[in-house]
Every structure is written in C-alpha cells, then in structure tokens.
Amino acid sequence: MSEYVNITIDDRQIKVRAGEKLLWAALDNDIYIPHLCAIREKERPNAGCRLCFVEIEGDTRPATSCTRTVEDGMVVRTRTPRVDRLVKTAFELILSDHNLKCRECPANRNCALQTIAKKRGIKLRQGRFKTIVREFELDESPDDFAFDRSRCVLCGQCVWADREVAKTGAIGFANRGLNRVVTTFRDRPLAESNCAKCTFYADVCPVGAFYYKKAAE
C-alpha cells in the first residue's frame, strides 16, 4: 500500500497520507469543515457533535468526515444542499442548548461557535428551536479557572486533555441524554477533586465553559 492517496475535495486535487481521516486531510489543506468534537490523536472518533458532514461520491447520504478514512480517488464535497441543511440543524440544536450571552462570555471573539457561524453564514440567534432553559451551578473553586456548564457543548476536548495529556482523570462525562454533563467524580467541586489544577481545560475548551478567571474580568 502506498503511503499517500489522492483525493478530490471541492474540485481540488490533494495528496494526503493514507489512513488519515477526511476531516484532518481537509483542514491540513485549508479546506474548512466545521467541527467541535474531533481529536486528531484519538483513535476512535467521538463523532458526537455531528457538524463535520460532507458528501462523498457514491455514498447515499452525507457522512461525518471525522470518522471517514480517506480512500484513493475519493471525491468529496463540503458544501451541498444536504450537507448544509444537516450542519445548520445540528448547529442550531447546539445553540438551543447553549447559554448564548456572548457579551458576558470570556470566550467572546475567540469561540468555536462564532467561527462556525461566521464561516458558514449561520446566525447565532436561531429562531427555529426554543431555548432549553436549565440551571447550572458555576464552579469557581479552582484558583485560576472556572467552569460554567451552561456554555458547555459536550465536545469532550477537556476530558481528553485531562486523561491523555495531563493524565489526571479528574473529569469525565456523566449521566445520559439531555442530562449528559462534564463533571468530576461524584460531582464534587473541581478544587476538591484530584484535578491537578493545571489549566489544560481552559486551554482546550473551544467555547467559554472552562475559562481563565483573568479573562473574565
């Protein structure tokens, strides 16, 4: 098997490493595909955010590019009516469950949601779905950073950083369905957990859920 394969994305021919996932092949070549949950080093993709859809010639329906391995001769489109429709709906669903007060958010102007909205021309203030209102307690217990779950999009970046980079295992996902959250063991405040109090979380969070207290001032 050769080390590289040739694929076509949006009429551009590119040469990419065999075995690569389509999403990274595109991003490496400056072709934008929205994504929140993809982690390059993670062998089995989360595939949870459902934003990275593309259409692949020969497939009957759009596929998530973070789960598809490139194949020689693959012909891919990042913008088709079906892709745009799915991405818009997924994005608006996420927004309907997100605390959308950008002006109060430390991640304002540095937020993955704002980027996606801009790149894809989707309004942040969506009108299709009612906002899901929920109460979350703000966790400000660590010295340098804080965690506001009302902004979390459940992308799993922080959980990965905690497990695989910091190797602490202080946080993880808990609960099912709409109650799914990122939390510590037994739902204790971060400062009381075995969280190493490093600031990895705030570095990787693509939105303003984990944030530096300094940035919020």
Partner 1 sequence: MSSNNPLDLYRKMHDEAQARIKSKEDKPQVLIGTATCGVAAGALQVRDDFVREIEEKGLDAEVVEVGCIGHCYAEPLAIIAKPGFPPVCYGYLDEGLVHRLVEDFLGGDDPSYEYALAALERNDVFPTFEDFPRGIYEEKLILENCGFIDARDIDSYISREGYSALATALTQEPQAVLEEVKAANLRGRGGAGFPAGLKWEAAIKSGGNEKYVICNADEGDPGAFMDRSILESDPHLVIEGMILCAYAIGSQMGYLYIRAEYPRAVRHVQDAIDQARERGLLGSSILGTEFDFDLEIFQGSGAFVCGEATALISSMEGRMGMPQSRPPRLASRGFRGMPTVLNNVKTFAYVPLIIHHGAEWFKSIGTEESPGTAVFSLVGKVANTGLVEVPMGTSLRQLIYDVGGGLPGNRDFKAVQIGGPSGGCLPESALDVPIDFDSLHQAGAIMGSGGLVVMDQDDCMVAVSRYFLEFTQHESCGKCTFCRIGTKHMLDTLVDITQGKGDTETLGLLEELAEDVRDGSLCNLGRTAPNPILTTLRYFKDEYKAHIEEGRCPALVCRDLILYYIEPPKCSKLCNVCVGSCPTEAIFTREDGLKEIDQEKCVKCDNCRKACPTEYNAVVKLSPPVLPPQKEKAVK
Judged by the rule CB under 8 A, the positions of this chain that interact with partner 1 are 44-51, 53, 61-62, 64, 67, 82, 85-86, 89-90, 93-94, 96-97, 128-130, 132, 154, 173, 175-180
Nearest-angstrom CA–CA distance, 130 and 97: 9
Provide φ and ψ at 157, rounded to 5°.
-60, -40
Closest by Cα among 2, 1, 5 to 71: 5
158 is an interface residue for ligand SF4 by CB under 6 A: yes
In the complex with ligand SF4, the residue whose CB is nearer, 84 or 203, is: 203
CB of 74 to ligand SF4, least distance (A): 25
49 is an interface residue for ligand FES by CB under 6 A: yes
Q: What's the half-sphere exposure (Cβ side, CA atoms, 13 Å) at 144?
A: 9
Nearest-angstrom CA–CA distance, 197 and 190: 8
**Size, binding site for ligand FES by CB under 6 A:** 12
H-helix or E-strand spanning residue 172: strand 171-174
Q: How far is CA 106 from CA 22, 25, 151, 155, in A?
A: 32, 31, 11, 18
142 is an interface residue for ligand SF4 by CB under 6 A: no
CB of 82 to partner 1, least distance (A): 8
Q: Which does 89 bind (CB under 5 to 8 A by kind): partner 1, ligand FES, ligand SF4, none?
A: partner 1
CB of 212 to ligand SF4, least distance (A): 13
Binding-site ranges for ligand FES (CB under 6 A): 35-38, 47-52, 64, 66
